[in-house]
């Protein structure tokens, strides 16, 4: 009987978490009905977890429920920081539920305590602001490629959550697909490509993104911005990054790529080094794809 009750809880929990992810896509519209629906999901998870003795899940869902109730009462205003916090809280809940299913119910996500404290603080109107990458002498620009499980029906919601998480880690300069495309439901991606800038901690970046469900792989490359026709000088910078163990990405600005013999030799050398050739400009990207005879990203 106890096992049947736990299985019933898990089935209901996953169903509620899937509903939660769909609701998160509507969160930034600040619709009171969406807040009410998210509140009901948190309340349901809290009650169900308490019934089967899952204290960590019940208490965490309660903290989330308290914040949502404060929003409903007008005591807390929906902001980008609040939205991002709720997105993270949803992923913590999913990790906790998955731990129960896999028989490691005592396995708590590394961000559990920090997110729980932020939920408490936000409920009082004192949201702890996430530390974004600061632009300083160590500021860097990176290209991130996240591969999602193509068997998952939640890829659109997952991609949206990941982009929001990246915005907290650094400054998101470009993404494909965009957040608006994901919100519209026009795309169901298997790959997310993003360009970020800031004082980015690469191990922390991997830790944050690889922990999400449906993520099959994460690749990070360090961008060398090619902004002049005679771009051989950029190769030296690429060698420096490579010597540091970094994966190098040559990012070509529109109109920079000239297909003369010198440039083709340099491109060939870059490919032999395993560097990624990239551009956010569609035409330049297509030319680079033809040169390498493959889709670059």
Nearest alpha-carbon partner for 12 in 63, 59, 46, 60: 46
Tokens 């998952």 belong to which residue? 152
Question: pLDDT tens across 15-41, in order?
Answer: 888 888 888 878 777 778 888 899 989
| pLDDT for the residue 126 | 59
Q: Which residue has the higher pLDDT, 126 or 42?
A: 42
The string of DSSP letters for 92-133 reads: HHHHHHHHHHTT-TT---TTHHHHHHHHHHHHTT-PPPP-PP
> Domain spanning 2-123: which CATH class is it, in words?
mainly alpha
Give SS3 for 252: strand
Q: Across the beta sheet with 191-198, what order do the strands follow?
A: 171-176, 191-198, 140-148, 215-226, 248-252, 276-278
Contact between 155 and 149 under an 8 Å Cβ cutoff? The reply is yes
What does the mean pLDDT of the chain come to? 81
| pLDDT for the residue 201 | 80
Provide the pLDDT confidence category of residue 152 given band limits of 50, 70 and 90. Answer: confident
Q: CA 62 from chain center: how many Å?
A: 25
Q: Whole-prediction pTM value?
A: 0.54
What values do phi and psi take at 190, rounded to 5? -105, -15
Question: pLDDT tens across 241-270, in order?
Answer: 888 888 898 888 888 877 777 777 778 888
Question: Does residue 138 have a pLDDT over 90?
Answer: no
Question: Does residue 132 have a pLDDT over 80?
Answer: no
Contacts for 64 with CB less than 8 Å, ≥ 6 apart: 42, 86, 89, 93, 119
Q: What is the C-alpha to C-alpha distance for residues 63 and 60, in angstroms, rounded to an integer?
A: 5
Question: Does residue 69 have a pLDDT over 60?
Answer: yes
- Helices 80-101 & 2-24 angle (0-180, nearest 10): 160
The string of DSSP letters for 155-183 reads: HHHHHHHHHHHHHHHSEEEEEES-HHHHH
Secondary structure element (H or E) that encloses residue 77, with its range: none
Every domain of the chain and the residues it spans: 2-123, 133-220, 227-297
Q: Which fold has domain 133-220?
A: Alpha-Beta Plaits (3.30.70)
Provide the pLDDT confidence category of residue 135 given band limits of 50, 70 and 90. Answer: very low
| pLDDT for the residue 175 | 92
């Amino acid at each position: 009987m106890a096992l049947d009750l736990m299985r019933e809880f898990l089935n209901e929990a996953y169903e509620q978490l899937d509903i939660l992810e769909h609701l998160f896509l509507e969160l930034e519209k600040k619709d009171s009905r969406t807040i009410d629906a998210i509140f009901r999901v948190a309340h349901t998870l809290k009650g169900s977890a308490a019934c089967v003795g899952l204290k960590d899940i019940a208490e965490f869902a309660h903290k989330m429920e308290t914040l949502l109730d404060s929003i409903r009462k007008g005591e807390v205003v929906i902001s980008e920081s609040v939205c991002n916090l709720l997105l993270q809280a949803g992923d913590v809940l999913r990790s906790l539920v998955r731990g129960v299913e896999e028989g490691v119910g005592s396995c708590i996500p590394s961000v559990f305590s920090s997110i729980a404290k932020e939920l408490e603080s936000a409920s009082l109107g004192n949201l702890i602001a996430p530390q974004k990458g600061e632009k300083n002498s160590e500021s860097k620009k990176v290209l991130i490629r996240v591969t999602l499980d193509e068997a998952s029906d939640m890829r659109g919601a997952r991609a949206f959550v990941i982009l929001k998480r990246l915005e907290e880690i650094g400054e998101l300069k470009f993404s494909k697909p965009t957040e608006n495309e994901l919100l519209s439901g026009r795309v169901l991606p298997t790959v997310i490509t993003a360009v970020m800038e800031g004082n980015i901690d690469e191990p922390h970046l991997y830790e944050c993104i690889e922990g999400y469900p449906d993520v099959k792989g994460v690749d990070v490359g360090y961008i060398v911005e090619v902004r002049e026709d005679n771009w051989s000088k950029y190769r030296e910078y690429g060698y420096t990054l490579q010597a540091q163990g970094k994966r190098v990405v040559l990012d070509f600005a529109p109109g920079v790529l000239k297909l003369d013999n010198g440039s083709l030799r340099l491109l060939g050398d870059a490919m032999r080094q395993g560097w990624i050739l990239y551009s956010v400009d569609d035409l330049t990207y297509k030319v680079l794809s033809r040169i390498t005879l493959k889709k670059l990203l």
